[in-house]
Amino acid sequence: MALADLDAVERQVFGDRGALGLPAPYLLFLGDTTEPGYAKTAFGLRDWARERCVGELALPGATVSTGLPRMTTAQAAAAGAKALLIGVATPGGLIPEAWLSTLHGALLDGLDLVSGMHVRLHSIASLREAAAHLGRRLVDVRDPPADIPIASGRKRSGKRILTVGTDCALGKKYTALAIERGLRARGIIADFRATGQTGIMIAGSGIPIDAVVADFVSGAAEMLSPDAAPNHIDVIEGQGSLYHPAYAPVSLGLLHGSQPDMFIVCHEPGRTHILGHPHYALPSIEEVIALTIACGRLTNPAIRCAGISLNTSKLDDAAAATEIEAAARRLGLPTADPVRGGADFERLLDACAA
């Protein structure tokens, strides 16, 4: 693909000013969800884009809450909301029929709809027709840009950090966001590059890597983190795990296309098996480091592990400190829980900035 064509494709990802133009602020929709793990999009936006969230809306039977003010769609519109954003996931990424009356009500009350579900809003005829009639937007975040090229493997300028994991759903996004924020606080030019729907909603740009056809995953990762100034750092949100029986192909393609100079291994102490696959034991951090280097050397022979991120959210302060200290001593690498911050996280940032 010619450079001019590649530039055009990159503009589909980042837009003229680096954003998708999502209609914020949002009313976060929690549906009838009872499992907090299914609401990671809502929690991610609450934690990292609080200024763009006016409140939450839940259906009867829901037990999950972000702690934001409860509002109707009409109240949210009056408070300045521009969109109802689906903040939860469902099995198979379906949009339940029980949600449709609420989604239609949001359109009638003047709100656009934003979704990262596998099932597209545009695929539901009644929503599509209502939005067209009312002049509202249906924004499907999980739609990758068109004309993604296959990967070139060409070494790009600038620096890149990728978060990888011993499993899925244990903090790769939060780690990448915290590192970007920490580097920026030090005056370092850094950008968070989103690869999942929640990250894209937080950043306002990115590519939903798991929605890209397999042959083009590495090419999409190259688009996501283009040539940059030598002192510029892209912090790329990882997906899945190289050891995950379902998601390893996405993780590998993202690794090759990202060409990271450094990677951070994310891990949750106490987890023993791959999430949703009890017959697969969780790999050790050491195994993940070794495999990531072995695979990553294909496109960046100088790849190295910069440190470890531990998700200690289920531990008290004392137990978290013990886990962090033990891992740092065993591995000889900076180790921290980025959400807890502190001196441990500053040492991890030192390694990322080196």
Same structural domain, 130 and 164: no
Which among 140, 170, 190 is the end of a domain? 140
Give the pLDDT confidence of 234-282 residue by residue, as tens digits.
999 999 999 999 999 999 999 999 999 999 999 999 999 998 899 999 9
Same structural domain, 128 and 168: no
- Would you state the pLDDT for residue 239? 96
Q: Report the predicted TM-score, pTM, of the whole model to 2 decimal places.
A: 0.89
Dist. CA 296–CA 290, nearest whole Å: 10
Same structural domain, 187 and 296: yes
What is the CATH number for 24?
A: 3.40.50.720
Q: Which residues contact 8 (CB under 8 A, 6 or more apart)?
A: none
CA 229 to chain centre: 24
Q: Could you tell me the pLDDT band of residue 93, with boundaries at 50, 70 and 90?
A: confident
Tell me if 2 is assigned to some domain. no
H helix or E strand, kind and range, residue 8: helix 3-14
Calculate what percentage of the chain has a pLDDT beyond 70: 94
Dist. CA 144–CA 155, nearest whole Å: 23
Residue for token digits 């998708």?
A: 20
Same structural domain, 97 and 221: no
The count of structural domains within the chain is: 2
What is the CATH number for 184?
A: 3.40.50.300
Tell me if 148 is assigned to some domain. no
Closest CA relative to residue 202, chosen from 339, 14, 67, 41: 41
Tell me if 147 is assigned to some domain. no
Same structural domain, 168 and 308: yes
At position 347, the amino acid (one-letter code) is R
Give the pLDDT confidence of 107-166 residue by residue, as tens digits.
999 999 999 998 999 999 999 999 999 999 999 999 999 899 999 999 999 999 999 999
Per-residue burial over 224-258, b if 16 or more Cβ lie within 10 Å, else e, is bbbebeeebbbbbbbbbbbbbeebeebbbbbbbbb
* Domain assignment of residue 97, given as a range: 15-140
Tell me if 68 is assigned to some domain. yes
Tell me if 289 is assigned to some domain. yes
Above 80 in pLDDT, residue 347? yes
Give the pLDDT confidence of 7-28 residue by residue, as tens digits.
444 444 444 333 567 899 999 9
Same structural domain, 318 and 194: yes
Same structural domain, 102 and 180: no
Tell me if 152 is assigned to some domain. no
- Would you state the pLDDT for residue 20? 66
Same structural domain, 214 and 97: no
Which among 111, 140, 169 is the end of a domain? 140
Same structural domain, 189 and 125: no
Same structural domain, 168 and 310: yes
DSSP state for residue 184 in the 8-state scheme: H
Same structural domain, 307 and 241: yes
Residue 203 φ/ψ region, left for φ over 0, alpha for ψ in the -120 to 50 degree band, beta for the rest: alpha
Q: Could you tell me the pLDDT band of residue 89, with boundaries at 50, 70 and 90?
A: confident
Same structural domain, 175 and 320: yes
| Tokens standing for residue 179 | 């590192």
Tell me if 102 is assigned to some domain. yes
Give the pLDDT confidence of 287-343 residue by residue, as tens digits.
999 999 999 999 999 999 999 999 999 999 999 999 999 999 999 999 999 999 999
Task: Determine which of 35-39, 40-44, 99-103 has the lowest per-residue pLDDT on average.
Answer: 35-39
What average pLDDT does the chain have?
93
Tell me if 3 is assigned to some domain. no
- Would you state the pLDDT for residue 174? 97
Q: Could you tell me the pLDDT band of residue 35, with boundaries at 50, 70 and 90?
A: confident
At position 144, the amino acid (one-letter code) is P
Above 90 in pLDDT, residue 198? yes
